[in-house]
């Protein structure tokens, strides 16, 4: 796959899965824009690293949960890069606890970032993509959105909602040359999973047929495939990258 001439915007692209996705696109010659909310040092470090290798990387701060800030992110991308071909909605947060201990703010913040943030970004990006009659949107969901998870009612709801959003947008824009798909990662080695209770981590590992956690690079490769011309006839799909954890 070669993304030379393509512009890709990755939300939450300064660390974890988002950073791996950004690196994969940059190494395949895309012009990469990463959005971050608070990880400025990580974003700058990645930009410097890629630019030293001759790759084009832009970094923009912004909170995707904000409708106006999301619009500004799309506008700045088009102004600086001339177009927007690929949007990866990766930004996400967790506020885990059992529902009886979860307060309203814990629920709202997760929904606002993980689900409404993807809606905000997609709405503004689709205006650009529709005019181009070309675009790719890849939403980073989770297997938790498929099977649920104790203590993650807010997170699971946000990721399940993201799957519905994916399928709805795929139907709306299929005739405009725009595909919309989702990746549902399983247990992937990131700072987020590193913070899990060891007993919970051990439980999930025991459920994975491949017997290991996934790598962020393995998710990134799947994202690149769905954004590529090789996947031009695939839309409205959910690809689990989970070592066999969830099988339908």
d(CA 113, CA 127): 21
Residue with tokens 């997760």: 110
Residues designated as active site: 155
**Nearest 5°: CA angle at 152, between 146 and 157?**
50
Q: How far is CA 215 from CA 17, 20, 64, 73, 155, in A?
A: 9, 9, 25, 28, 21
DSSP 107-173: HHHHHIIIIIHHHHHHHHHHHHHHHHT-EEEEEE--THHHH--TT-HHHHHHHHHHHHHHHHHHHHH
- What count of Cα atoms within 13 Å lies in the side-chain half-sphere of residue 234? 18
Q: Decide if 58 contacts 33 (C-beta within 8 A).
A: yes
Q: Decide if 14 contacts 42 (C-beta within 8 A).
A: yes
Length of the chain in terms of residues written: 248
In eight-state DSSP terms, residue 188 is B
């Amino acid at each position: 796959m070669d993304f030379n001439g393509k512009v890709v915007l990755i939300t939450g692209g300064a660390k974890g899965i988002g950073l791996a996705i950004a690196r994969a696109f940059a190494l395949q010659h895309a012009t990469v824009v990463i959005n971050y909310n608070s990880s400025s040092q990580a974003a700058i470090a990645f930009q410097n690293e890629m630019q030293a290798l001759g790759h084009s990387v832009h970094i923009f701060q912004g909170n995707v949960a904000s409708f106006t800030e999301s619009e500004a992110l799309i506008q700045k991308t088009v102004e600086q890069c001339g177009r927007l071909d690929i949007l990866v909605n990766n930004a996400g947060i967790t506020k885990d606890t059992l529902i009886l201990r979860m307060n309203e703010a814990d629920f709202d913040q997760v929904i606002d970032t993980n689900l409404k943030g993807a809606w905000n970004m997609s709405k503004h990006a689709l205006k650009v993509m529709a005019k181009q009659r070309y675009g790719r949107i890849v939403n980073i969901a989770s297997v938790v959105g498929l099977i649920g998870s104790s203590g993650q009612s807010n997170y699971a709801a946000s990721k399940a909602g993201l799957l519905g959003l994916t399928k709805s947008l795929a139907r709306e824009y299929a005739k405009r040359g725009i595909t919309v798909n989702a990746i549902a990662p399983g247990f992937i080695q990131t700072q987020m999973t590193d913070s899990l209770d060891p007993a919970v981590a051990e439980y999930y590992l025991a459920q994975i047929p491949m017997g290991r956690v996934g790598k962020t690079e393995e998710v990134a490769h799947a994202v690149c495939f769905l954004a590529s011309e090789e996947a031009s006839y695939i839309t409205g799909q959910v690809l689990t990258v989970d070592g066999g954890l969830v099988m339908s």
